[in-house]
C-alpha cells in the first residue's frame, strides 16, 4: 500500500465487538490518513468480527488479524503509544523519532478506565496528547497535526466537553476533547452527530 509520508497509524482493536461509534471513528481515521499520505492499520481484528460494509470499503484502511506486537516485532523502538498516562507530551520531533503511532481501539468512558494500560504493558514508548481524554479519531488527528504538520500539541485549537443539542429541549455533554474546525465546531466523524442523537433517544426510551 502506498505510504508516501512513511507514517503508519495503528488502532489495536481491544473490544470483542465493534460498536457503531467505533466504526464511524475508524472510517474517519482511514479517510484522513489516506488524504495525508499515511497508512492506517486496524489490528487485532478477530476472525469472527464482520466489519460493517461502509468500513470495509473505507479508502486507506487495512485490516489485520494479527496484533501490533507481531506486526512490528522488528521495529518496536519506532512504535509510539499514544497514552493518556504518559509523562512526556508528543512533540513535533517525535514525528522523526517514530514511524508507527499506536492507539487503543476502545470507546472513551467517563471516568476513563485506563484500558490503554493493555497496550502500555507491551513496553512501547508512550506520549501524551495533553491532559484531557480524546476520542480515538481526535487522538489520531492531533497526532498527525503534531508529528506530520509539526504543530506543537498546545498550539492546536480544541473544544473540551462540547454540549450537543440532541432535540429541541435537550442537550448532552460529550466527555471528550475535540479539535475545533474553522467554524468553531468540534471535528467529528461523518454520521456521529446523528448517532449521538439516536443514542440519546434510545437512552430516554430505556427509561420509559
Ligand atoms: N478511556 C480510555 C482509557 O481507558 O484508556 C481512553 C480511550 S481513548 C477514547 C482511545 C485512545 O485514544 C487511547 O487508547 C489513546 O491511545 C488515545 N488517547 C485519547 N486521549 C489521549 C490523550 N489525552 N493522550 C494520549 N492518548 C490519548
> pLDDT tens digits for 31-90?
999 999 999 999 999 999 989 988 888 888 999 999 999 999 999 999 999 999 999 999
Residue 178 main-chain phi, psi, to 5 deg = -125, 160
CATH number, domain of 17, equals 3.40.1280.30
Kindly give the distance from the C-alpha atom of residue 200 to the centroid of ligand 1, in angstroms, as a whole number. Answer: 23
The predicted pLDDT at position 2 comes to 64
In a domain, 90, yes or no: yes
Indicate the helix (H) or strand (E) that contains 101.
Answer: strand 100-105
Cα–Cα distances (Å) from 110 to 17, 48, 77, 82, 134, in that order, read 20, 29, 31, 18, 11
pLDDT greater than 70 at residue 124? yes
Pocket flag, ligand 1, residue 22 (CB < 6 Å): no
For residue 112, the ligand 1 atom closest to its alpha carbon is 1
pTM: 0.94
In a domain, 56, yes or no: yes
Non-local (6+) Cβ contacts of 67 within 8 A are 12, 43, 44
What letter would DSSP give residue 20? H
In a domain, 202, yes or no: no
Whole-complex ipTM: 0.98
In a domain, 138, yes or no: yes
Non-local (6+) Cβ contacts of 55 within 8 A are 18, 23, 26, 27, 30, 61
Residue 143, domain extent? 8-156
Q: How many independent structural domains does the chain possess?
A: 1
The predicted pLDDT at position 1 comes to 58
pLDDT greater than 80 at residue 22? yes
Amino acid at each position: 500500500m502506498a505510504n508516501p509520508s512513511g507514517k503508519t497509524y495503528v488502532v489495536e482493536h481491544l473490544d470483542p465487538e465493534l460498536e457503531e461509534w467505533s466504526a464511524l471513528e475508524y472510517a474517519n481515521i482511514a479517510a484522513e490518513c489516506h488524504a495525508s499520505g499515511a497508512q492506517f492499520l486496524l489490528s487485532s481484528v478477530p476472525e469472527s468480527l464482520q466489519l460493517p460494509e461502509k468500513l470495509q470499503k473505507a479508502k486507506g484502511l487495512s485490516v489485520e488479524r494479527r496484533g501490533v506486537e507481531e506486526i512490528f516485532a522488528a521495529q518496536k523502538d519506532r512504535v509510539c503509544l499514544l497514552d493518556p498516562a504518559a509523562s512526556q507530551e508528543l512533540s513535533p520531533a517525535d514525528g522523526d523519532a517514530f514511524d508507527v503511532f499506536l492507539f487503543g481501539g476502545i470507546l472513551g468512558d467517563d471516568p476513563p478506565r485506563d484500558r490503554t494500560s493493555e497496550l502500555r504493558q507491551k513496553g512501547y514508548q508512550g506520549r501524551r496528547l495533553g491532559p484531557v481524554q480524546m476520542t480515538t479519531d481526535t487522538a489520531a488527528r492531533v497526532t498527525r497535526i503534531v508529528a506530520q504538520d509539526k504543530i506543537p500539541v498546545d498550539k492546536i485549537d480544541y473544544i473540551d466537553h462540547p454540549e450537543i443539542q440532541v432535540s429541541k429541549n435537550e442537550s448532552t455533554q460529550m466527555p471528550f476533547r475535540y479539535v475545533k474546525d474553522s467554524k468553531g465546531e468540534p471535528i467529528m466523524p461523518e454520521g456521529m452527530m446523528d448517532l449521538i442523537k439516536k443514542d440519546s433517544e434510545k437512552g430516554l426510551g430505556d427509561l420509559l
